[in-house]
Amino acid sequence: MAQQHLDPTDPTAGPVAGEALAGYLRAQATEFLRALRLHRETGPAASNGTEESVDAARALRRSVRRISGSMHTFRPLLEADWSEGLRPELAWLSGTLSMENAYACRLERLLLALHRLSGAVFPTQTGVAAAVSPAGAAGPPVPPPTDRGNLTVGAAKAGALLERQLTLARTRAHSTALQALGSSRFHAVADKVAVLASEVPLTATATAPTTDLRPLAAAAEERLTDAVTALPLVTAGSPYNAEALIHGLSPDPAPHPQDAPWHQVRLLLRLHRYAREALYGTGGPIDVRLLTAGQALDRHRDASEAAAAAASAARTPRIAPATAYALGVLHADQRHEVEAARFAFQQSWQKQVVST
């Protein structure tokens, strides 16, 4: 706890022993088991998830990401066989569990954008959020039809189309997640995590008194810094650079390779954050700048995927021109959000560099 405020690159800070990693992994494994129990109790099979089951699913994903991320960053300190067996399984689990929530959030984002673009005064923004966000819900479409009275025909039809497509995808993701949670493959993962909760398979090196976690954490930070350096931050920091939409009508089916380096930085930022947690505990003060930068990258990813969903919906056969027009406006709006998120990241990152 005395080390909470230290920086891994601070030369005056003392070494952090391998036991800190073991403690972190044990805590995350315990959190995983707690979330899993809660998830089973609150009825994971029900299609209309309650608030508790949504929380449980979120906690489950959260712990899986942290275990998986720490195993990546501190790989040399963990038993290789165990590590190599578990990591791909955690990646599978993380991917499977995240899809349902991703579709729900994407739909919510797109419907809110459609309402904003229509100039319709939606009762409350949280009203939509509350109606959409339960990740377990494949429930009634939102916003309810009466709320579409304020939309143009095109916007309303575009909303209905996106709702149909993304609700279907979400329902499928829900079934897939349920199947996964009932599979023997999952039970094998859960058993391994249960073992991790009591006994972390550290290597002999890791348990040596001279071991220091800091160089591996510093390497994770360096990978992040290098990736950020490679980003087009000068362009991103110049408002209204119009870069994000530049290939918005490209015949290329994957017109936004420009997004990939940003997605990569998002993952590296997360690994850096988890490494800090392993070293200094989760109870310490939150690094607001890292949080802000991370939120900008989350927004970047969400907007990028929402824009792709709008473009994809526009390729549905036999839609009305007004629907297609609304989807075009929506696509461009979300690409604009992508650009705005890059600007926000650049701003938060600049502050970070200046103040550290």
The Cα–Cα gap between 308 and 331 comes to 7
**Please, what sign has the CA dihedral across residues 301, 307, 312, 316?**
positive
Residue with smaller CB distance to its own copies, 73 or 118:
118
Least Å from the CB of residue 108 to its own copies: 17
Least Å from the CB of residue 163 to its own copies: 16
Least Å from the CB of residue 354 to its own copies: 19
Contact 36, 221 (CB under 8 A): no
Least Å from the CB of residue 335 to its own copies: 8
Least Å from the CB of residue 317 to its own copies: 9
The Cα–Cα gap between 85 and 24 comes to 20
End-to-end CA gap in the chain: 22
Least Å from the CB of residue 347 to its own copies: 9
Per CB under 8 A, residues contacting its own copies are 114, 116-119, 150-152, 154-155, 239-240, 242, 245-252, 255, 314, 319-333, 336-337, 339-340, 343-344
Residue with smaller CB distance to its own copies, 25 or 161:
161
Contact 37, 166 (CB under 8 A): no
The CB density around residue 198, as the number of other CB atoms within 10 Å, is 9
**Which letter does DSSP use for residue 282 in this model?**
S
Residue with smaller CB distance to its own copies, 79 or 163:
163
Instruction: List alpha helices for the chain, DSSP H.
Output: 18-41, 51-73, 80-117, 125-132, 153-182, 184-196, 204-207, 214-229, 233-236, 260-280, 288-314, 321-355
Instruction: List alpha helices for 148-183, DSSP H.
Output: 153-182
Residue with smaller CB distance to its own copies, 101 or 118:
118
Residue with smaller CB distance to its own copies, 169 or 329:
329
- Within 8 A by CB and 6+ apart from 79, the residues are 201, 202, 203
Q: Is 202 left (phi over 0), alpha (psi -120 to 50) or beta?
A: beta
Strand partners, 78: 202
Residue with smaller CB distance to its own copies, 114 or 193:
114
Residue with smaller CB distance to its own copies, 27 or 322:
322
Least Å from the CB of residue 148 to its own copies: 11
The CB density around residue 111, as the number of other CB atoms within 10 Å, is 25
